[in-house]
Chains A and B, each alone.
Chain A
Amino acid sequence: MPSESKRIPASLTVMIRSSGQEILQEWLSEQLSADTLRLDLIDEKTLEVESQEFLAVLSSALGSEELVDFERPAWQPVLSFLDELSRARDHAGFGPIETASFVLSLKQPLFARSLENPEKQSSKEEIWCVNQVLDHLALYTTDLFRERREATILRQQEEMEELSTPVVKVWDGILALPLVGTLDTRRSQMVTESLLEAIAATGSEIAILDMTGVPAIDTRMAQHLMRTVAATRLMGADCILSGIRPQIAQTIVHLKIQLGDIKTESTLAAALKSAFRQSGLKVQAEG
């Protein structure tokens, strides 16, 4: 049995139906005088249309449903309207507070009407119901905002990861992997994987790991690098480390990181030269 407090009082539905126009007018003037009004982002006409639509879907949901339970199908139009609205407002540049205020500002005209109800008990029920509904819907818009932001962050993260592990074929049999940023466990795994796949696909014998874009190094990252190099060696290819900045070199010495017998060169150009030499190639000026 659903709790009594979730029931929508019939008098509320009647009240919204009978005086919808006045409520809309009061709500509009309320919105137009509020601090959160952004006439630079939205014009009065659109605001009026949106308010009218919201009031319409809300009143039809309240009329066809007995309970404040947003899982029920009758509430679906309200939620999808807010979905649309919050997306459009987000796009226009509204903040989450401003969008939520749009919903919450409907409280005042509805409360004012409910207080006019001579029956104390039903007046209280109406206010409680309006409060529940509007609070939930306002939070819903905020939640939508958060969801969209999170989706954006996730997408950007994926893009960043994809962008940051390009394996470049610089010559027949020579691959270069420009490392940018710090290597954590996840990224180093991706770097190693794409490097090994590229080695297998191109049959390259030399891989240059270029660290020019690496701002700092710690023992963990060094460990990851060593692993990448070891895996490359197991495949039958050689690794050259290049572009280690002086500060990083100092850190490596300071942390007593043993890079073993990994070949290192100061710049990518020097590494390429060394790779040429190793594969018996020679660069010569014409004429």
Chain B
Amino acid sequence: MDRIPIAKIGSCLFATIQVDMHDRLALALREDLGSELLRTQAKGVLLDITSLDTLDTFIARLLAGIGAMAQLLGARTVLVGMRPAVAMTLVELGLTLEGVQTALNVERGMALLEATR
């Protein structure tokens, strides 16, 4: 798989990451999200990382970058489903992803985007 599929639900873009993120895949995701945001004029981005059990610094910074980019394009980003071990690792690395909102699961993430639209 060389691209992560992006679905549009209502006014939100939804991408679920189910494979181990390698750098090229992550960069492709950022690019695709950017062009999709422009094309669809979506107001929110939901990134589901439930099935990721590792996250390196590059990917983490890229996720924060996606948040910042989406904001410039008029959309808010919610990261959902981070596992406890991943959260602890990111904090140990000093990466707290300040610019990104988080939620426990996809449902709550959707509700968060809906509520603040």
Contacts and interface: CB of A to CB of B under 8 A. Distances in A.
A249 B46 CA distance: 38
Nearest to A200: B84
B60 to A, nearest CB: 10
B88 interface: yes
Given A197-B84, A234-B82, A236-B109, A205 B104 contact: yes
Contacts of A234: 79, 82, 86-87, 90-91, 96-97, 102
Given A200-B84, A230-B96, A235 B91 contact: no
B84 A196 contact: yes
A197 B86 CA distance: 11
A193 interface: yes
Given A236-B80, A236-B102, A196 B108 contact: no
A237 B81 CA distance: 11
B96 A235 contact: no
B105 to A, nearest CB: 7
Contacts of A192: 88, 91
A196 B87 contact: yes
A237 B79 CA distance: 12
B91 A227 contact: yes
Contact of A235 (B82, B92, B109): B82
Interface residues of A, number: 19
- Summarize A's interface: helix, strand, loop or mixed: helix
Interface string A68-107: 0000000000000000000000000000000000000000
Given A196-B84, A233-B96, A236-B109, A203 B102 contact: no
A233 B104 CA distance: 9
A233 B102 contact: yes
B83 interface: yes
A231 interface: yes
Query: On chain B, which size bracket covers the interface?
Result: 20 to 34
A231 B108 contact: no
Interface in A166-209: 189, 192-193, 196-197, 199-200, 203-205
- Summarize B's interface: helix, strand, loop or mixed: mixed
A203 B87 contact: no
Contacts of B79: 234, 236
Nearest to B104: A236
Interface centre among B82, B84, B105, B108 (most CB of A within 10 A): B84
B103 interface: yes
Given A227-B91, A231-B90, A233-B96, A203 B104 contact: yes
Interface string B69-106: 00000000001111110111011100011000011110
Given A199-B84, A205-B108, A236 B91 contact: no
A179 to B, nearest CB: 17
A192 B91 CA distance: 11
Contacts of B103: 236
Contacts of B81: 236
A238 to B, nearest CB: 10
Interface of B: 79-84, 86-88, 90-92, 96-97, 102-105, 108-109
Given A232-B87, A236-B108, 7 more contacts: A200-B83, A230-B96, A231-B84, A233-B96, A235-B82, A236-B82, A236-B109
Interface of A: 189, 192-193, 196-197, 199-200, 203-205, 227, 230-237
Among all A-B residue pairs, the 9 with the closest Cβ atoms: A196-B84, A236-B102, A236-B103, A234-B87, A236-B104, A231-B87, A230-B96, A231-B91, A227-B91
